Every structure is written in structure tokens, then in C-alpha cells.
């Protein structure tokens, strides 16, 4: 008698020969519809291999007989999305920046759109929340090199700074040390003077009068008589608490010696006008807008 | 008596087919307590399902007046006096927990009561069987008609046509009632009839028509046996105290024919009550023999109890040879002890207590539900901003929930760092030195709020900040606390 040759006397079905605590496992066949469904899924799977891209090859993959491509699907979906957005984005394009800010619906739309566009395009430099980094302005604060009004922000986004675009903001911090305009000790003195402008402590033995003189001779052209800066030139206010590159003596010496000329790309042409508007409103609403 | 196995059978066994053809079940009509209970529960369940969407509930102007409504476009769920927002899905979690525990409790008390009396599969299959019986006749007639395959006459064709038409009509109504829970029922009925309802409604009616027709008309007991996970799960939940539909073999065996039983009984010899009439098998909707003991295929509907009781009454023996009983009692009776039934025991007390606890928590949450709410999310990137004058600013995304059916003006206060100022992006109307915004009825409003602490009061690393909204008209107040962080 082979092991699995037992017939259960209650059901009349054969058993598998397995036993647990005296309970035998019946070898009950599956219902016909179940088995047919199972075979159909196998047939379906084979059909799937043939019809759709399925098998990875060494340098490519089988393409299927319909040339179906999820990539093409995504492109179509994106095109559809643009179509769906159409009306709303047109409304955004037609409203002025001030109107957008006053209209809660448009503001919400602009902020939502602006946030995603910001994440895709601006976050690499300014951070995903616009917090900036050394050399990359924090867009949440109220210090604006080129002005923080809606129009000024839009201008900066459109054409950038030192981007090579003909309408871009120009003007750069000179390299006073590298170009031999100031001597090393003069740079240290003026750096300390700049620190004193915003109430930071100065180094021992520093000559305030000499610092003021050096500042008046070299810096006021851009940063103004009292160091308040000049947005026309992108010259930062040196009397406030915000420092793009840092306010410690070493950093200031570095800045004065070698100059600074960070670049913001121009986005006109890369982003459509209504998207730039949305982005402008978003950045303005981050809180620092004037 | 063990059968001896014939070696030739074993040969056949090895070549056995991979599948077994379905043995069609022809349940016979039966009457009795359990059948009546099933009719009653069926009428109740179907009545609730089909009519509930038409029950009205006045919620005031602008709000839907349907008692039970799943309003997907507006993300609201209405259940009589209850209105739930998406933020309150935890009520559903609670409801699901209560439902699961109730199922456990039912199981601990009376086995698969759910399967036998309340499960939609059972209810609709039962209804479909009733239609079939009405048109094609009872068990024997249906078997005879099915057996006479090749000789199908026009009459038989008409019967089939009628049966399937009625089945499809019931199935269609089932799908139709389903979509009524998702839109204003009277309006939707009008739209459906004039073919102006949204496509999705027709698609869902189609899906549910198909599933009802196939599941209740064609698959029947196979759904329970092959597709449903509950029989497998409940086997792990049951215990020796649970009342299950049980053949009392201590009383029934050894079974024999009525005539022989009477003869033996006259001689004063021991004999079982079961007369092997197979009525319990004939009426079973899953086609099993309850006398083989508890089994997965048994949905515990109790129809075999009715059938057996009828026979027992006829032959003058005590009823409930098959009845709701537990495993313990079979052995107790064999030992000559009286049967015991214990419904109140640690397991049932635990389930009942858990149900009561979850229910109480839900009730408390429901009673203390607020109609004005505020959620605050601190901006994480950056957490804090230093402004040019040295002051510190934190930004918060604040969401206001106005669950009332009218617009209202609310004032916003913030208690945070000393002398902190408040600025709301995009909404700047101010009343009595406080920013005031309008919350549209039955909506959420999301705003960015900037809190600035002046330089001279720069707070510690982190101080609590409390946002408080006050309904100017009603005086309702809601508040939420977060932190004000310095860089």
C-alpha cells in the first residue's frame, strides 16, 4: 500500500496522505470554473508578454506588438493636464499681480502653482522653502538685493542677475584686494567698519576714523553714504542683520578682497508668462515681499 | 466499519481529473422557525437597503436633506444627525472596529450567525432561490427538468427566460439602490430614467447588476465555499462553547429506517432517532450533510433544523435532533450529564466590554465634536527667518474648518512671544486690532500666518504659540498650539 493511497470513508475522496494530529488532508479537486479561470490567467499572462513591453534584453527590451509605452502615456497625460489647467491659467495670465493677491481664489491657485514651479526650478539654489543658503538669498526675509515689490520680483525672475540676458540686473562687487585697489590692512580696517555699521563688535585696535574714510572713498558709490545699499545696483544694505555671505571678519575680508557676483538665471522663455506670474506671487507671499 | 481499499481504485485515483465538476445544489423548500426568521431578516435587510436612500432628514438650507448620503464631490458623509468630514475618518475606523468585534461576539455566542442570516450573499441567494422555486418548482421538479436536457420544450425555455429576467431585474435594482447612496436619490432616479445621470452611475449599476446576478444566480454557495475568507477565519475564533448548528449524534446514531427503528424500539433495544430520511441534506443551500459534523461549507442557516423538526414531529420523536448546540454537550449527554449552555463567559464578556468601550469613546468624540476648528502646521523650511531689523519670524500654514451651514467672520489672536505681531498673507481686514477673516460655510480655509517677534524680545530657542479663533457672532472659540522657534 503506497502512502497516499487512502480513501476517506466519510467523503469518499482520496487523501493526500498527510496527517496532523490524526486529521487527514483530503485531496479534494478544485471546481471546474476555478481551474478554467486559473488556466485563463496563464493564457492572459502569455498574451501580455507578447502584446506589451515585458522582457528585459541585454541592452533593450521587447517592445510588444502595439508599441505601447508608458512614457508616451505620461506625455499625453501632461498635455491633457495643460488643457485642463488652460482656463485657470488664462485667468491668472490676465489678472495683474496685485489683483491676484487680492483675489483669494487666484491667490490660492498662484501659490499652489508657484510652489510646484519653485520646487522644480528654484529649489536647487534657494532651497525647497526658499530659505536660501550662503550666497543664495533667503526669499522669506525682507532683505531684497533687487527690490521686493511684486514688479521687482517679477523683473528678477524674468531676466535674472548677471545672467547674460540684455535686461538682466548688472553690477558686481569689485575685487578690492585682488585688483590691488586696497591694501591688505586697509581691507581689514574697512571690514571692521562694515561690521560696526550693523552693530557688530570690532577687532581690538581698529581705527574707526580710517575705516570711515576708506568706506567713504571706496564703497559709498554703490552702498550709499550710510551703507544702506542700493537696489538699482543690487548693492546690499550693510546696516541690517542679514548677510548673504556671512558677517564675520574673515568672510567680509574675503568679500572685499575678491568681490562677489552671484548669478541668477533668466527664466523668461523657459517658463511661460502666467507661470512666472504665479511664481512671483508665491515668492512675494513667502513673507518678505514689500 | 472501515472500507477496504481496492487496489484498482488506487490506479484510478492517480489518474483522477484535476477538477471536480460542480454538483448543482437543489435546495428543497422548508418551513419552520428558522425559515421564518430568515424571511423576516431578509425583508428587513432588503427593505433597509432599498428604501434608506429615500429617507429624508432636514439639515437646514443649502445642506442635503438625504438621511444617509456619501457626498463624494464635497467630501462629506451624512448619517441622520451625524455629518462627517474627511478629517474625521477615525469614526469609520471606530465603526469598523465595532463591526469586527460584533462579528466576533456573534461568533462566540452563536457561530456563523452572520453567514446564515445577514450576509448579503446569503440574503440575495435566498431571494434568487425563492424566485427559482416559484417559477420552476421545488427540488424534485427542478431536478427532473434539469435532467431532461435534450428535450427542452418551449415551456421550459419560457421558464428560464422569465427566471433570468426577474433575477436581472433584482440585480439591476440592487445596483440602482447602491448609487442612490451617493447622490440625492429622487433627483438621481429622475436622471437615471431620462438617461441624464452621470456615466459613473450607470457603470456602477452595471457592475453591481453583474456581480449580483452572477454571485446570487450562478455561483451561490460556491462564493461561501471557495471565495469567502470568513469560514477560514471564524474557525480560529470559535470555541467549544459556541452554539453551532449541530447534529446530535449521541441521540441520532445508530441511524436506521423508520420501520426498523420502530421494530427495535418495540423490542426495547437501543436505537438512534435519525431515520436517514435525508431531509436535512435536501434543504441545505450548500448541499452538505450536517450529520458529518461541523464543516467549512456549513453557513449555519438552520434550515436543516426546520427540516429535521418536521420529520421528528411526524414520527413522534422529540424535535431538535439537529439544533443549535455546542461540542461540550454531546460528550456530556453521552456521559449522562445534563447539557450546559453558557453565553456569559470570559470571551463574550471581553468582546462585549470592548464593543462598549469603543462605542463609548466614539460617542464621547461625537458629542464633543466641534463646529469650528483650527489646525496649525509650522513651516519647516525654513523654521525661522531673521529679518533685517533683527526680529524673528515664523510662518504657519493654518487651516480653519467651518462646519456650520453659514458663512461667518472670525477674529484671530495669537499668544506667543512677547509683543509678537501677526500678519496674514492675502487677507488683511482688521477689526478691533485683530485680523478678521470670513470663513465660507461648510468649508475649510487655508491661510499662511506670519508671526514676528521683535528683536528686543527675541525669545528662547522655542516657546509655545497659541492660535485662537473666535467667531465674532456666536462667540465660538477654537484654538491650536504650536511652537515659535528661533534660529
Top residue of A31, A97, A112, A247 to mutate, by most chain B CBs within 10 Å, is: A31
| A240 part of contact set with chain B, CB < 8 Å | yes
Whether A101 sits inside 8 A of B426 (CB atoms) is yes
Residue B18: the pLDDT is: 67
| B235 contact partners, CB below 8 Å, separation of at least 6 | B296
Residue A69 to residue A240: CA distance in whole angstroms: 56
Whether A141 sits inside 8 A of B386 (CB atoms) is yes
Residue B247 to residue A122: CA distance in whole angstroms: 76
> Counting runs of H as helices and runs of E as strands, what totals does chain B give?
17, 16
Whether A287 sits inside 8 A of B3 (CB atoms) is no
Residue B222 to residue B479: CA distance in whole angstroms: 55
Place of cell 464593543: B355
Q: For B416-478, give the secondary structure using H, E and C.
A: CCCCCEEEECCCCCEECCEEEEEECCCEEEEEEEEEEECHHHCCCCEEEEEEEEEECCCCCEE
ipTM of the complex: 0.73
Whether A10 sits inside 8 A of B381 (CB atoms) is no
Whether A142 sits inside 8 A of B388 (CB atoms) is yes
Weakest mean pLDDT among A53-57, A122-126, A237-241, B4-8: B4-8
DSSP B296: T
Q: What is the mean pLDDT of residues A244-273?
A: 93
| B81 part of contact set with chain A, CB < 8 Å | no
- pLDDT above 80 for A6: no
Q: Which of A130, A143, A287 sits opposite B450 (nearest CB)?
A: A287
Please list the residues that pair with B483 across neighbouring strands. B464
Q: Is residue B254 reached through a cis peptide bond, with omega within 30 degrees of 0 on the bond before it?
A: yes
Please list the residues that pair with B410 across neighbouring strands. B437, B471
Mean pLDDT for all residues in chain B: 89
- pLDDT above 80 for B217: yes
- pLDDT above 50 for B160: yes
CA distance B21 to chain A (A): 5
User: Which residues in chain A touch residue B9, judged by CB atoms under 8 angstroms apart?
Assistant: 7
Mean pLDDT for all residues in chain A: 89
User: Chain B: residue nearest A288 by CA?
Assistant: B387
Q: How confident is residue A39, by pLDDT bands cut at 50, 70 and 90?
A: very high
Percent over 70 (pLDDT), chain B: 94
Q: Are B479 and B467 in contact (CB under 8 A)?
A: yes
Residue B147: the pLDDT is: 86
Instruction: Give the strand order in the sheet containing B434-439.
Output: B430-431, B434-439, B408-415, B462-471, B477-485
Q: What share of chain A is helix, strand, coil (3-state, %, to 5)?
A: 45, 10, 45
Strand (E) or helix (H) holding A82: helix A70-94
Report pLDDT digits (tens) over B114-130: 999 999 999 999 999 99
Residue B8: the pLDDT is: 46
Burial of B269 per CB tally in 10 Å (0-12, 13-18, 19+): exposed
Q: What is the mean pLDDT of residues B164-183?
A: 95
CA distance A288 to chain B (A): 8
Report the candidate in A177, A234, A248, A189 with the shortest Cα–Cα distance to residue A215. A189
Whether B226 sits inside 8 A of A31 (CB atoms) is yes
Q: How confident is residue B60, by pLDDT bands cut at 50, 70 and 90?
A: confident
User: Chain A: residue nearest B391 by CA?
Assistant: A241
Q: What is the mean pLDDT of residues A253-266?
A: 94
Q: How confident is residue B15, by pLDDT bands cut at 50, 70 and 90?
A: low
CA distance A106 to chain B (A): 10
Q: What is the mean pLDDT of residues A91-95?
A: 89
CA distance B429 to chain A (A): 11
Q: Which of A9, A108, A242 sits opposite B2 (nearest CB)?
A: A9
Q: How confident is residue B172, by pLDDT bands cut at 50, 70 and 90?
A: very high
Weakest mean pLDDT among B16-30, B314-328, B391-405: B16-30
> How far is Cα of residue B329 from the mean position of the Cα atoms in its chain?
32
Q: Are A133 and A125 in contact (CB under 8 A)?
A: yes
| A242 part of contact set with chain B, CB < 8 Å | yes
Report pLDDT digits (tens) over A134-190: 999 999 998 899 999 999 999 999 999 999 999 999 988 999 999 999 999 999 999
CA distance A178 to chain B (A): 30
Three-class secondary structure of residue B219 per DSSP: helix
User: Which residues in chain B touch residue A237, judged by CB atoms under 8 angstroms apart?
Assistant: 388
User: Chain A: residue nearest B290 by CA?
Assistant: A10
Residue A22: the pLDDT is: 82
User: Which residues in chain A touch residue B379, judged by CB atoms under 8 angstroms apart?
Assistant: 129
| A134 part of contact set with chain B, CB < 8 Å | no
Residue B268: the pLDDT is: 86
Residue A210: the pLDDT is: 93
Q: What is the mean pLDDT of residues A227-240?
A: 91
User: Which residues in chain A touch residue B3, judged by CB atoms under 8 angstroms apart?
Assistant: 7, 9
Q: How confident is residue B289, by pLDDT bands cut at 50, 70 and 90?
A: very high
Span between the terminal Cα atoms of chain B, in Å = 87
Percent over 90 (pLDDT), chain B: 58
Top residue of B2, B15, B384, B425 to mutate, by most chain A CBs within 10 Å, is: B425
Q: Tell which A residues from 149 to 168 touch B, by Cβ distance under 8 Å.
A: none
Report pLDDT digits (tens) over B379-434: 888 889 988 888 999 999 999 999 888 889 898 988 888 888 888 876 656 666 78
Whether B446 sits inside 8 A of A108 (CB atoms) is yes
Q: Are A119 and A250 in contact (CB under 8 A)?
A: no
Polymer length in residues for chain A: 290
- pLDDT above 50 for B2: no
Q: Are B188 and B180 in contact (CB under 8 A)?
A: yes
- pLDDT above 70 for A233: yes
User: Which residues in chain A touch residue B13, judged by CB atoms under 8 angstroms apart?
Assistant: 5, 7, 14
CA distance A82 to chain B (A): 22
Top residue of A140, A247, A281, A283 to mutate, by most chain B CBs within 10 Å, is: A140
Residue A104 to residue A90: CA distance in whole angstroms: 16
Q: What is the mean pLDDT of residues A247-276?
A: 93
Q: Are B14 and B292 in contact (CB under 8 A)?
A: no
Q: What is the mean pLDDT of residues B207-212?
A: 97
Q: What is the mean pLDDT of residues B463-475?
A: 90
Residue B106: the pLDDT is: 93
Q: How confident is residue B16, by pLDDT bands cut at 50, 70 and 90?
A: low
Q: Are A133 and A263 in contact (CB under 8 A)?
A: no
Cα–Cα–Cα angle for A125, A128, A132, rounded to 5 degrees: 45
Residue B4: the pLDDT is: 46
Whether B425 sits inside 8 A of A287 (CB atoms) is yes
Report the candidate in B410, B452, B398 with the shortest Cα–Cα distance to residue A287. B452
Whether B386 sits inside 8 A of A33 (CB atoms) is no
Please list the residues that pair with B415 across neighbouring strands. B466
Whether B10 sits inside 8 A of A5 (CB atoms) is yes
Residue B431: the pLDDT is: 64
Whether B9 sits inside 8 A of A7 (CB atoms) is yes
Three-class secondary structure of residue A264 per DSSP: strand
Inter-chain contacts counted by CB atoms under 8 A, chains A and B: 101
* Ranges assigned E (strand) in B366-432: 372-378, 385-386, 392-402, 408-415, 421-424, 430-431
- pLDDT above 90 for B54: yes
| A180 part of contact set with chain B, CB < 8 Å | no
Whether A1 sits inside 8 A of B385 (CB atoms) is no
Q: What is the mean pLDDT of residues B77-95?
A: 88
- What one-character-per-residue DSSP string does B95-139 give? HHHHHHHHHHHHHHHHSSHIIIII-HHHHHHHHHHHHHHHHH-SH
Q: What is the mean pLDDT of residues B145-172?
A: 88
User: Chain B: residue nearest A28 by CA?
Assistant: B20
Whether B381 sits inside 8 A of A129 (CB atoms) is yes
Reading the block at residue B120, the C-alpha cell is 448579503
Q: Which of A14, A31, A287 sits opposite B13 (nearest CB)?
A: A14
User: Which residues in chain A touch residue B22, judged by CB atoms under 8 angstroms apart?
Assistant: 31-33
Whether A141 sits inside 8 A of B20 (CB atoms) is no
Residue A270: the pLDDT is: 93
Looking at B213-344, list the stretches that DSSP marks H as alpha helix, in order from N- to C-terminal side: 221-222, 230-237, 249-252, 258-266, 279-283, 303-314, 327-334
Q: Tell which B residues from 99 to 158 touch A, by Cβ distance under 8 Å.
A: none
Residue B175: the pLDDT is: 94
Residue A103 or B135, more confident: B135
Residue B427: the pLDDT is: 65
Q: Is residue B330 reached through a cis peptide bond, with omega within 30 degrees of 0 on the bond before it?
A: no
| A31 part of contact set with chain B, CB < 8 Å | yes
Sort strands B421-424 and B322-325 into parallel, antiparallel or unpaired.
unpaired
Q: What is the mean pLDDT of residues A215-222?
A: 93
Whether A285 sits inside 8 A of B426 (CB atoms) is yes
Q: What is the mean pLDDT of residues B128-139?
A: 95
CA distance B422 to chain A (A): 12
DSSP B217: I
Amino acid at each position: 500500500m503506497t502512502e497516499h493511497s487512502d480513501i476517506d470513508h466519510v467523503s469518499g475522496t482520496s487523501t493526500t496522505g498527510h496527517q496532523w494530529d490524526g486529521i487527514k488532508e483530503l485531496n479534494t479537486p478544485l471546481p471546474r470554473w476555478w481551474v478554467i479561470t486559473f488556466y485563463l490567467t496563464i493564457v492572459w499572462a502569455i498574451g501580455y508578454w507578447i502584446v506589451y513591453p515585458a522582457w528585459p534584453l541585454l541592452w533593450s527590451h521587447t517592445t510588444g506588438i502595439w508599441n505601447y509605452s508608458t512614457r508616451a502615456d505620461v506625455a499625453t497625460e501632461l498635455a491633457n493636464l495643460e488643457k485642463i489647467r488652460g482656463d485657470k491659467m488664462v485667468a491668472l495670465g490676465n489678472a495683474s499681480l496685485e489683483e491676484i493677491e487680492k483675489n483669494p481664489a487666484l491667490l490660492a491657485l498662484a501659490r499652489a502653482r508657484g510652489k510646484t514651479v519653485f520646487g522644480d526650478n528654484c529649489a536647487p539654489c534657494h532651497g525647497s522653502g526658499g530659505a536660501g543658503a550662503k550666497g543664495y538669498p533667503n526669499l522669506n526675509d525682507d532683505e531684497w538685493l533687487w527690490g521686493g515689490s511684486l514688479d521687482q520680483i517679477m523683473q528678477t525672475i524674468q531676466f535674472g542677475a548677471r545672467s547674460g540676458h540684455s535686461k538682466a540686473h548688472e553690477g558686481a562687487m569689485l575685487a578690492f584686494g585682488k585688483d590691488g585697489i586696497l591694501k591688505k590692512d586697509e581691507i581689514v580696517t574697512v571690514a571692521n567698519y562694515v561690521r560696526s555699521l550693523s552693530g557688530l563688535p570690532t577687532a581690538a585696535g581698529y581705527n574707526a576714523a580710517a575705516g570711515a574714510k576708506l568706506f567713504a572713498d571706496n564703497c559709498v558709490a554703490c552702498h550709499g553714504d550710510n551703507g544702506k545699499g542700493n537696489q538699482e545696483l543690487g548693492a546690499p544694505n550693510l546696516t541690517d542683520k542679514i548677510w548673504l555671505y556671512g558677517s564675520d571678519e574673515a568672510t567680509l575680508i574675503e568679500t572685499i578682497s575678491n568681490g562677489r557676483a552671484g548669478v541668477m538665471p533668466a527664466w523668461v522663455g523657459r517658463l511661460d508668462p502666467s507661470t512666472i506670474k504665479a511664481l512671483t506671487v508665491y515668492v512675494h507671499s513667502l513673507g518678505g515681499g514689500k | 466499519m472501515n472500507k477496504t481499499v481496492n487496489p484498482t481504485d488506487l490506479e484510478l485515483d492517480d489518474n483522477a481529473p484535476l477538477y471536480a465538476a460542480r454538483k448543482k445544489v437543489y435546495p428543497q423548500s422548508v418551513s419552520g422557525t428558522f425559515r421564518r426568521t430568515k424571511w423576516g431578516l431578509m425583508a428587513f435587510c432588503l427593505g433597509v437597503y432599498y428604501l434608506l436612500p429615500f429617507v429624508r432628514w432636514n439639515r437646514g438650507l443649502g445642506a442635503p436633506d438625504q438621511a444617509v448620503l456619501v457626498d463624494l464631490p464635497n467630501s462629506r458623509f451624512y448619517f441622520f444627525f451625524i455629518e462627517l468630514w474627511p478629517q474625521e475618518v477615525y469614526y469609520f475606523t471606530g465603526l469598523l472596529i465595532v463591526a469586527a468585534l460584533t462579528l466576533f461576539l456573534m461568533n462566540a455566542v452563536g457561530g456563523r450567525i452572520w453567514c446564515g442570516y445577514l450576509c448579503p450573499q446569503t440574503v440575495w441567494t435566498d431571494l434568487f432561490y425563492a424566485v427559482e422555486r416559484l417559477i420552476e418548482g421545488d427540488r424534485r421538479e427542478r431536478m427532473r427538468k434539469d435532467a431532461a436536457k435534450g428535450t427542452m420544450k418551449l415551456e421550459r425555455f419560457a421558464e428560464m427566460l422569465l427566471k433570468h429576467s426577474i433575477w436581472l431585474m433584482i440585480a439591476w435594482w440592487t445596483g440602482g439602490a447602491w448609487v442612490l447612496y451617493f447622490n440625492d436619490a429622487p433627483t438621481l432616479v429622475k436622471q437615471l430614467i431620462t438617461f441624464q445621470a452621470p456615466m459613473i452611475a450607470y457603470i456602477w449599476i452595471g457592475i453591481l447588476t453583474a456581480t449580483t446576478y452572477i454571485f446570487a444566480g450562478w455561483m451561490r454557495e460556491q462564493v461561501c465555499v471557495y471565495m469567502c475568507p470568513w469560514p477560514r477565519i471564524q474557525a480560529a475564533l470559535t470555541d467549544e462553547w459556541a452554539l453551532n448548528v449541530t447534529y446530535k449524534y449521541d441521540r441520532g446514531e445508530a441511524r436506521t429506517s423508520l420501520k426498523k427503528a420502530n421494530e427495535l424500539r418495540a423490542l426495547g433495544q437501543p436505537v438512534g432517532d435519525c431515520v436517514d430520511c435525508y431531509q436535512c441534506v435536501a434543504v441545505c443551500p450548500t448541499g452538505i450533510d450536517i450529520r458529518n459534523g461541523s464543516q467549512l461549507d456549513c453557513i449555519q442557516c438552520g434550515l436543516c433544523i426546520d427540516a429535521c423538526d418536521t420529520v421528528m414531529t411526524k414520527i413522534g420523536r422529540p424535535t431538535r435532533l439537529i439544533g443549535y448546540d455546542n461540542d461540550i454537550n454531546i460528550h456530556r449527554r453521552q456521559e449522562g450529564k445534563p447539557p450546559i449552555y453558557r453565553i456569559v463567559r470570559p470571551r463574550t464578556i471581553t468582546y462585549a466590554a470592548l464593543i462598549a468601550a469603543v462605542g463609548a469613546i466614539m460617542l464621547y468624540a461625537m458629542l464633543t465634536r466641534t463646529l469650528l476648528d483650527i489646525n496649525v502646521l509650522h513651516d519647516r523650511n525654513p523654521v525661522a527667518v531673521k529679518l533685517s531689523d533683527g526680529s524673528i519670524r515664523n510662518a504657519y500654514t493654518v487651516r480653519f474648518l467651518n462646519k456650520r451651514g453659514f458663512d461667518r467672520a472670525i477674529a484671530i489672536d495669537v499668544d506667543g512671544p512677547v509683543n509678537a505681531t501677526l500678519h496674514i498673507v492675502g487677507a488683511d481686514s482688521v477689526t478691533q486690532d485683530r485680523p478678521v477673516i470670513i470663513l465660507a460655510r461648510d468649508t475649510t480655509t487655508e491661510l499662511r500666518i506670519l508671526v514676528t517677534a521683535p528683536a528686543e524680545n527675541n525669545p528662547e530657542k522655542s516657546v509655545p504659540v497659541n492660535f485662537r479663533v473666535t467667531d465674532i457672532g456666536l462667540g465660538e472659540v477654537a484654538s491650536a498650539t504650536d511652537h515659535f522657534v528661533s534660529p
